[in-house]
Amino acid sequence: MTGAQIREALADGRRVYGTMLALARNPRWAARFAEAGLDYIIIDTEHSPFGRGQVADMIAAIGAVGIAPLVRVPVPDSHYVTMAMDAGAHGILAPYCETPEDVREVVGGVRWRPLKGALLQEALDTGQFPGELRGYLTARNADGVVIIGVESVPAVENLEALLDVGEIDAIFIGPHDLSCSLGVPEQYEHPAFEDAIRRVIATCDEREIPVTVHFSDLRLARKWIEEGVRLVLYASDYWLLPRTLSEDFGELRRHGG
How do residues 169-219 score in pLDDT, each as one tens digit? Answer: 999 999 999 999 999 999 999 999 999 999 999 999 999 999 999 999 999
The confidence score (pLDDT) of residue 157 equals 98
Domain boundaries, the chain: 3-256
Confidence (pTM): 0.95
Name the stretches of the chain with pLDDT < 70: none
d(CA 134, CA 48): 35
CATH pick for 3-256 out of 3.90.1150.10, 3.20.20.60, 3.40.50.720, 3.40.50.300:
3.20.20.60
Q: What is the pLDDT of residue 63?
A: 97
Name the residue among 46, 53, 25, 23 with its Cα closest to residue 236: 23
pLDDT at 197: 98
Query: CA 121 to CA 104: how far, in whole Å?
Result: 9
Task: Please tell me the predicted confidence (pLDDT) of residue 257.
Answer: 80
Is the CA virtual torsion 19, 24, 30, 31 positive or negative?
A: negative
